[in-house]
Structure 1
Amino acid sequence: MNAFFLNLFDRIPLSGYLKEIAAWAIILAALGLALFILNAVIKGILKTAVQKAVRKTHGEWDDILYDSGTIAALGKAVLPVLAKVFLTVLSPAGLAGAAGGLAAAGSAGNARFASFLIRCTDAWIAFALGSAAAAFLDAVNELYRAKNPELAKKKPIKGYLQLVKIFIWILTAIIAVTEILNISPVGLLSGVGAMSAVLLLVFKDSIMGFVSSIQLTANDLVRIGDWIEMPKYGADGDVIDITLQTILVRNWDLSVTSIPIYALTSDSFKNWRSMAESPGRRIKRTINIDMKTVRFLEDEDVERLSRIPLLAPWLAGRQAEIQAWNAERGIEGDGRVAGRHLTNLGTFRAYAEAYITAHPDIQPSMTRMARYLEAGATGLPLELYVFSREKAWVQYEGIIADIVDHLLSVMGEFGLRVFQNPSGWDMEKAMKGI
């Protein structure tokens, strides 16, 4: 082959530097064509033979290595190695040494150019191996998540692997630069030392992210799958990924918010994980009651409401308590101002509490109550404070709707009305009465 190229160079109808340029053009064109063909062959082998062999095995690790691109990166690392061999053997300097001398090929300029190209292939080899190492780290992360899904959510290692990647790429860049410039790594690092302040500025987010990720992991503040809220960044949804610098949150509108990881240690955020791990999810809803409809219950009201199964035990006990209290103080007859009497509002509150207590979807081991809040211009708020058994969003909202629908519907039985501001229909009705 050497003799072929020597004869080819001798037949070039040029002289001097033009002949050298033509020789290099031929070599580089041949190299480019060879690498193009070899790259296609490697891709074909990876997509056929290697992929089939990987899919046939029962182990999961080789599938992950293939899907992460580690095997492909190692296969492509062959290209720069062969390019170096090609340039070493077929360069004009190499041909000159093999043939015993070629005036055009043996010049000092040709030797320097050939050496530069070979050093470039060394840098290419370094980057190819760096890519393979980075892909291997991705495979390690995927294998960790596949083998230990629950542990991977609690203790993700992606951030740490990304830090290792940064060191790999820094080392790769140092090797590549020193090879291309033909200088000592020590000399390069001594120059880099003077730029440490600049490097700290460039990698500020990575350094802060690394420290924050250690704090988040050590204190178990957030995991993949947690529902978090961080209004400052417009985040309200599930954590889908944790990297060295950012946390990705898929919001409930299916948009994705990126949050700097250090923000979770420097700012406040709400994590709903404890709710998901608890026996129930809190329901807190308010019904505003028109205070103009509040009144004492008449005997016929008590008799009618006593026919409600949920309310009958409470009414019987309450009536006995009130009668005993009034008798003890010598209050007889109607004495509504001096004595105690049942009201439609208090009876409705008791019914609401009995209803949510008996509801099958309410968690009995947690707080259940119906309470009054401070009255205001919008009426008297009656707040339902309970916990549902269901924590999934759709089922949770369905339980709330079921409870509120029922209580709003039965308020009329107690002579109560919901307070609401006048609407257009109210105005129209009032105008007709004028």
Structure 2
Amino acid sequence: MIKYAHFFYDHFRDLGLTAITSKYLNMTVLLILVALFIFLIDVLVRKVLRLISARIASRTKSNFDDLLISNRVPRNVAHIPALYIALKSIPIVFKDFNNLHLLFQKSIQIAGIILGLWIARSLLNTLKNYFKTLPRFRDKPIDSYIQVFMIFAWFFGVVMALGVIVGGDSLWKFLTGFGAATAIILLIFKDTILGFVASIQVSINDMVRIGDWITFEKFGADGDVIEINLATVKVQNFDNTITTIPTYALISDSFKNWRGMTNSDGRRIKRHMLIKQTSIKYLNGEDIERLKNIEIISTYLNTMQDKINNFNQSHTIDKSVLINGRNLTNIGVFRKFIQTYLQQHSAINNNMLLMARQLQPTAQGIPLEIYCFSKDKRWESYEYVMSDLFDHFLAAVPYFDLELFELPNDTSFLKS
């Protein structure tokens, strides 16, 4: 091919042009012709490769080849023949111009490195999109891994480009001096390094998955994780806003992951009512007979009344004073009512912890807490079940001669 390097030079000399003018015109004409040829080859290869890849994708069941096309892998690969021809044409076009020969050769080599990075990025994006379609990888931080590979690819690409520009020996000297600037590099890429380490720990320890509901009070996040990448974690809050959290914050700060609840057999209901202390009393016979009309505790009251009467009689307890001996209290019977109601409720999981308990007395009254688990863990259903339960319990309080505490308002001081 070198014999064609002076193909036009001889014609220009025959026309009477000087040697230097003929050389420049020869180089210009060859450069234009090679550029047109490379352009035509690039267009032709790109169309052929696109047509072939489209036909293959239409005949296969896998979506991997479709993702290759959507991420422009065939299009980027199609530039390789044109780049190769350009590299081989340089000695012909610039035979008489060593400086331009070296400049264009290095430029084409750097362009080849950049093209290689484009192809690598397209392939990595294809793998990322493909893995996200697989159920076993759908909740994994694939973005973080792809970004790590891309960082290494860019690093080696930059090193190779520097090697092309400054030469092998100079590159080694440059890299030796580069080690002295490691502290500065670490400072610049601190977040990236921390994010890389955090991504590995989050993945290995299975701390967070895509789709998990997390609560991160420090960053005001309360919602579902929609993306985990090298530097940030995106959380879509329940008001549809997006909160961005640094990845390394997942291992340096405390947050709540609700996955344990969603994977369990129920969602916890834990709420209390404040019972006015002055409304608590012992139950006399008349009170017990009246409460026996409440069906779900009538059997309990009959059983307990017999036990208490037998105990008091066997111990000759003086019942002229109600406090003597054993007695039922209205708050105790109300607790039994709540617990029995929960055990019979179809929306409550009886295989999990269930109880109605008293908490430490406060200045606002006696907290009577309901602790159980709803079978349905969906937010709207959970709230409905909890509200339905407390609607019933709050309305039932007066039947046990109990009162709920609330702060006085204007109507509290009006005389009936």
The match for 2:165 is 180
The match for 1:367 is 353
Is the contact made by 2:267 and 2:373 (CA closer than 8 Å) also made in structure 1? yes
Match of 1:311, SS state, is: helix
Shift in alpha-carbon separation, 1:162–1:332, aligned structure 2, 3 A? same
Q: What is the Cα deviation at residue 290 of structure 1?
A: 2.3
Q: What is the Cα deviation at residue 372 of structure 1?
A: 1.0
Write the distance in 2 (CA, Å) between the matches of 1:27 and 1:421: 95
Is the contact made by 2:227 and 2:234 (CA closer than 8 Å) also made in structure 1? yes
The match for 2:287 is 301
**Structure 2 alignment gaps of length 5 or more:** none
Query: Are 1:116 and 2:103 matched, yes or no?
Result: yes
Match of 2:296, SS state, is: coil
Match of 1:363, SS state, is: coil
Q: 1:50 aligns with which of 42, 50, 53?
A: 53
The match for 2:115 is 128
Match of 2:226, SS state, is: strand
Shift in alpha-carbon separation, 1:429–1:268, aligned structure 2, 3 A? closer
Q: 1:330 aligns with which of 306, 316, 331?
A: 316
Query: Are 1:395 and 2:378 matched, yes or no?
Result: no
Q: Which amino acid is 1:412 matched to?
A: P
Q: What is the Cα deviation at residue 286 of structure 1?
A: 0.9
The match for 1:99 is none
Shift in alpha-carbon separation, 1:48–1:378, aligned structure 2, 3 A? farther
Shift in alpha-carbon separation, 1:225–1:376, aligned structure 2, 3 A? same
Shift in alpha-carbon separation, 1:276–1:15, aligned structure 2, 3 A? farther
**Identity of aligned pairs, percent?**
33
Write the distance in 2 (CA, Å) between the matches of 1:335 and 1:42: 105
Query: Are 1:430 and 2:413 matched, yes or no?
Result: yes
Write the distance in 1 (CA, Å) between the matches of 2:185 and 2:12: 49
The match for 2:242 is 256
Write the distance in 2 (CA, Å) between the matches of 1:352 and 1:126: 73
Shift in alpha-carbon separation, 1:113–1:343, aligned structure 2, 3 A? same
The match for 1:139 is 126
Q: What is the Cα deviation at residue 121 of structure 1?
A: 1.9
Write the distance in 1 (CA, Å) between the matches of 2:182 and 2:374: 56
TM-score for the superposition, normalised by structure 2: 0.84
Write the distance in 2 (CA, Å) between the matches of 1:40 and 1:391: 57
Shift in alpha-carbon separation, 1:22–1:282, aligned structure 2, 3 A? farther
Is the contact made by 2:213 and 2:225 (CA closer than 8 Å) also made in structure 1? yes
The match for 1:200 is 186
Is the contact made by 2:215 and 2:257 (CA closer than 8 Å) also made in structure 1? yes
Is the contact made by 1:378 and 1:419 (CA closer than 8 Å) also made in structure 2? yes
Write the distance in 1 (CA, Å) between the matches of 2:306 and 2:372: 29
Q: What is the Cα deviation at residue 371 of structure 1?
A: 0.7
Deviations 1:189-224 (A, max 9, x none): 223223222222233333333333333333222222
The match for 1:221 is 207
Q: What is the Cα deviation at residue 316 of structure 1?
A: 1.3
The match for 1:211 is 197
Q: 2:152 aligns with which of 148, 160, 167?
A: 167
Q: Which amino acid is 1:322 matched to?
A: I
Shift in alpha-carbon separation, 1:308–1:428, aligned structure 2, 3 A? closer
Q: What is the Cα deviation at residue 350 of structure 1?
A: 1.1
**Structure 1 alignment gaps of length 5 or more:** 95-105
Shift in alpha-carbon separation, 1:125–1:358, aligned structure 2, 3 A? same
Write the distance in 2 (CA, Å) between the matches of 1:329 and 1:169: 90
Shift in alpha-carbon separation, 1:125–1:322, aligned structure 2, 3 A? same
Match of 2:145, SS state, is: helix
Write the distance in 1 (CA, Å) between the matches of 2:363 and 2:78: 75
Match of 1:286, SS state, is: strand
Shift in alpha-carbon separation, 1:429–1:419, aligned structure 2, 3 A? closer
Write the distance in 2 (CA, Å) between the matches of 1:32 and 1:268: 60
Write the distance in 1 (CA, Å) between the matches of 2:284 and 2:112: 95
Query: Are 1:379 and 2:379 matched, yes or no?
Result: no
Q: What is the Cα deviation at residue 161 of structure 1?
A: 3.5
Q: What is the Cα deviation at residue 292 of structure 1?
A: 3.1
Shift in alpha-carbon separation, 1:57–1:161, aligned structure 2, 3 A? same
Match of 1:310, SS state, is: helix
My pick for the range that moved more, 364-373 or 228-237, is: 228-237
Q: Which amino acid is 2:131 matched to?
A: Y
Q: Which amino acid is 2:76 matched to?
A: A
Write the distance in 2 (CA, Å) between the matches of 1:65 and 1:249: 29
The match for 1:62 is 65
My pick for the range that moved more, 168-177 or 293-302, is: 293-302
Write the distance in 2 (CA, Å) between the matches of 1:15 and 1:234: 77
Is the contact made by 2:191 and 2:231 (CA closer than 8 Å) also made in structure 1? yes
Write the distance in 2 (CA, Å) between the matches of 1:24 and 1:290: 101
Write the distance in 1 (CA, Å) between the matches of 2:164 and 2:137: 42
Q: What is the Cα deviation at residue 287 of structure 1?
A: 1.1
Is the contact made by 2:87 and 2:105 (CA closer than 8 Å) also made in structure 1? yes
Is the contact made by 1:116 and 1:180 (CA closer than 8 Å) also made in structure 2? no
* Count of matched residue pairs: 411
TM-score for the superposition, normalised by structure 1: 0.81
Shift in alpha-carbon separation, 1:317–1:226, aligned structure 2, 3 A? same
